[in-house]
Amino acid sequence: MKPYLRFIAPLAIFAVIVGFLYKGLSMDPRALPSVLIDKPVPEFSLEELQSPGEFFTREDLLGEVSLLNVWATWCVSCRVEHPNLVALSRSNQVEIHGLIWKDDPVAARSYLKQLGDPYTSNGLDFDGRTAIDLGVYGAPETFIIDKKGVIRHKIAGPLSPEIIENEILPLVKKLREES
Amino acid sequence: MRTIFFTLFLLFACWSTSSFATLDEYHFDSEEQKSDFREVTEELRCLVCQNQSLAGSDAELAKDLQREVYKMMQQGKTKDDVIEFMVSRYGDFVLYEPPMKPSTYPLWFGPFFILAIGIFLLGRTLVKKKRSKEVELTDADQEKLAKLLSNTAENRDT
């Protein structure tokens, strides 16, 4: 072994380990890649929150780029993102649909009355079965769905104005241009 | 002392709620079904508390998923069906044991690869050491050695 290699080899190994550890520090173990990206939204039929007797289904997602937001009144982070959803819906840039995950309709209605209702339609997933089909593991989660009803992106965790501005709106614009 | 007892108590409390508590909620027709259910829910990871299995978790979502697993098994679905159902929704992450496929090769074979490098380096070092021991001394070397040894002997005497 050449003498300089004696010093460089351990240094290189050390650098590689530090590199991995540094990357690990900035990774969020809860942000899991969704296997449903580029897959069609699974079939579902959920009772409408605001008009009982009517159903919110997969068909309602077809024809226009939309967001599907999984939320619940028991979810604290949903309250954090709620004003951002309201602002987004007021700006009329994209339709937002809601999936109410294992919640009481009365509580959900009063929540929206109090904080504003950004949703075009809102499905009640009482037993969490549709959430399982969507691979939901926490609330809030937001899916971006294209005109054909295919899931194109998913954001786990509350939407911040930055995420909406930098991640969601550019993608919505791109998806709108698709035929 | 009280702290020790308290810690032990907490440990024990955790234990008793894990794994088997969930089995009582479900009715099984046979022991085989029961053990299948237990096996599957222990192989699947709870997505909320990531270091717990589905069987051991009390999280809402884990309970929903347990119920789904139970329903599927009651319908006569096999273990593989259940696992496929979960993976198609939550990805490989739900499996405690990652599947064998190109993207997981480094995970499965990496340690053996590193072990092989270690064995190679160790072998090389040993061979080198052995070789250096076998070096034969020339007559000149022997003379030098004898001189050195006698020098130290003299030094010790004085």
Could you read off the pLDDT of A82-136 as tens digits, one per residue? 999 999 999 999 999 999 999 999 999 999 999 999 999 999 999 999 999 999 9
Residues B94 and B19 in one domain: yes
Question: Across the interface, do B89 and A135 touch by the CB < 8 Å criterion?
Answer: yes
Q: Enumerate the β-bridge partners of residue A57.
A: A45
**SS3 category, B112:** helix
A14 touches chain B (CB under 8 A): no
B34 and B49 co-located in one domain: yes
A129 touches chain B (CB under 8 A): yes
Neighbours of B83 (CB within 10 A): 17
Higher pLDDT, A73 or B19: A73
Which residues between 87 and 126 in chain B have a beta carbon less than 8 angstroms from any beta carbon of chain A? 87-91, 93
**Does the beta-carbon distance from B90 to A135 stay under 8 Å?**
yes
Residue B27: give its domain's CATH number. Answer: 1.10.8.640
The closest CB to that of B61, out of A29, A35, A137, belongs to A137
Q: Do B93 and B124 belong to one domain?
A: no
Same domain? For B72 and B44 the reply is yes
User: What is the DSSP code string of A75-136?
Assistant: -HHHHHHHHHHHHHHHTTSSEEEEEEES--HHHHHHHHHHH----SEEEEESSSHHHHHTT-
Residues B116 and B92 in one domain: no
Chain B residues 7-46 with CB within 8 Å of chain A: none
pLDDT reported for residue A59? 95
DSSP code string of B44-87 = BBPSSSTTSBTTT---HHHHHHHHHHHHHHHTT--HHHHHHHHH
Residue B37: domain span:
2-99
Residue of B nearest to A37 (CA): B89
pLDDT value at residue B16 = 43
- Interface predicted TM-score (ipTM) over 0.85: no
Q: What pLDDT was estimated at residue B69?
A: 93
Same domain for B111 and B67, yes or no, is: no
Amino acid identity at A35:
V
Q: Check whether residue B111 and residue B148 sit in a common domain.
A: yes
Kindly list the structural domains of chain A, giving each domain's residue range(s) and its CATH number in brackets, ordered by start.
29-177 (3.40.30.10)
Tell me, yes or no, if A20 comes closer than 8 A to chain B by beta carbon.
Answer: no
Predicted pLDDT of residue B25: 77
Domain end: B99, B114, B134, which one? Answer: B99
Which of B49, B68, B99 is where one domain is finished?
A: B99
List the single residue in B87, B89, B91 with the smallest CB-CB distance to A132.
B89
* Together in a domain, B89 and B113: no
Tell if the CB–CB gap between B61 and A128 is shorter than 8 Å.
Answer: yes
- Chain B residues in contact with A138 by the CB 8 A cut-off are 47-48, 61
Out of B49, B80, B99, pick the residue that ends a domain: B99
When divided into structural domains, chain B yields a total of: 2
Q: For residues B93 and B121, state if they share a domain.
A: no
- Is any Cβ of chain A less than 8 angstroms from the Cβ of B50? yes
Tens-place pLDDT, residues A122-143 = 999 999 999 999 999 888 999 9
